Amino acid sequence: MSNQNRVRPGVPSGGEFAAHTFPEPTGVTLADPAARPVILAPGEDENFNELADGDIIETIDVHRSHVDDGSGYTVTAGKTLNIRGLFDGQDLAAEGGVDAYLERHGAQIEDYLRTRYDADLDNQDWDEVRVECSTSLPDVPLTEGAVVDAAWVGTKVTALHNESDPGTCGSEFLGRLLREQIAGSASVQNRLSARAEAMRMLPQDIEAHVRDRHLKRELSDAGALAIAGRLKDPSRPALSRFAVRGYADRDELTTELHLAWLQNSTSRPKSSTTSIALDMMRSWIRNGGDNN
């Protein structure tokens, strides 16, 4: 009679499902994903969206500069931002509502995000603005770990994410920062149309505009831009910005106009037309333009 307690060959004591002891593998190591090399030819781009978290960072792109450029790599972290939502609950009736507000101050919003976060915007729709924050890396061997570090630490996308959420503890709120920045600025109503008209104004047209409106009406936005264009100079950054972008800090504009007025007052011969134009520019800053 067979022994039913007999252990079959190859089966450990305790049965097929007993604990097994295996020898430690030797000579085998697992590659660190962060150490994987990133190979790009000069001028080539590649996305690494699988390295993004999908929330704070939605996309990661790497561009290698052309071989003669020598500037290395650009790592760009992208996300979608609801800029219209930053102004929820704000009373913008005097500005014609949020859409008119965004239309008028769009250039200033873009410039502010570019300055604060090193960001570029694609604002086809203010509800879903594509924002890309970038940083540079030297032209040395690159790894996926270095790309992730550059996206998270090297760019300012995390600060943008935190500051665009009013509930983030310890962070500024981007909506408030933009409102304060815009409130402290003087700006034209419609930058594109005003600048196009200003560029068509010859010196004699500007003088006629000033003469016809002096003591009667405010300058038009186009007239203010045209005068600023005549006055712009490297020593007058606010006037130069206003002439091109259609907005500038109100206090900085006032200071530069005052200095220009003093310079004109001490020049020989003194230009009365220039003095009047400068006075009308300061009035425009206080009261806005008459575009009717």
Q: pLDDT per residue over 199-240, tens digit each? A: 999 999 999 999 999 999 999 999 999 999 999 999 999 999
pLDDT of residue 170 exceeding 70, the answer is: yes
pLDDT of residue 3 exceeding 60, the answer is: no
Return the structure tokens found at 142: 């690159």
Residue 105 to residue 185: CA distance in whole angstroms: 10
What is the reported pLDDT for 1?
46
pLDDT of residue 11 exceeding 50, the answer is: no
Structural element, H or E, at residue 24: none
What is the reported pLDDT for 6?
47
How many other CB atoms are there within 10 angstroms of residue 250's CB atom? 16
pLDDT of residue 71 exceeding 90, the answer is: no
Give me the numbers of helices (H) and strands (E) for the chain, helices first please.
10, 9
Residue 208 to residue 227: CA distance in whole angstroms: 12
Residue 45 to residue 78: CA distance in whole angstroms: 15
* Largest distance between two CA atoms of the chain: 132
Residue 122: phi, psi to the nearest 5?
-120, 95
pTM: 0.82
Residue 121 to residue 232: CA distance in whole angstroms: 27
Q: pLDDT per residue over 248-268, tens digit each? A: 999 999 999 999 999 999 988
Residue with tokens 């040395």: 140
Return the structure tokens found at 212: 């016809």
- Confidence bin at 22 (pLDDT 50/70/90): very low
At position 236, the amino acid (one-letter code) is R
Residue 212 to residue 230: CA distance in whole angstroms: 19
Structural element, H or E, at residue 37: strand 37-38
- Confidence bin at 32 (pLDDT 50/70/90): confident
Average pLDDT over residues 71-78: 94
Average pLDDT over residues 56-79: 91
Q: Cα torsion for 260, 261, 267, 273, to the nearest 10°?
A: 110
Identify the residue with better confidence: 272 or 284.
284
Return the structure tokens found at 120: 């570029």
What is the reported pLDDT for 7?
47
Identify the residue with better confidence: 6 or 64.
64
Instruction: State what percent of residues in the chain have pLDDT above 70.
Output: 88
Average pLDDT over residues 6-29: 51
Return the structure tokens found at 125: 């729709």
> Counting Cβ atoms within 10 Å, is residue 111 exposed (0-12), middle (13-18) or buried (19+)?
middle
Average pLDDT over residues 79-96: 92
The SS3 call for residue 240 is helix
Average pLDDT over residues 65-77: 85
- What rounded mean pLDDT belongs to the chain? 90
What is the reported pLDDT for 69?
66
What is the reported pLDDT for 174?
97
Q: pLDDT per residue over 173-190, tens digit each? A: 999 999 999 999 999 999
- Confidence bin at 28 (pLDDT 50/70/90): low
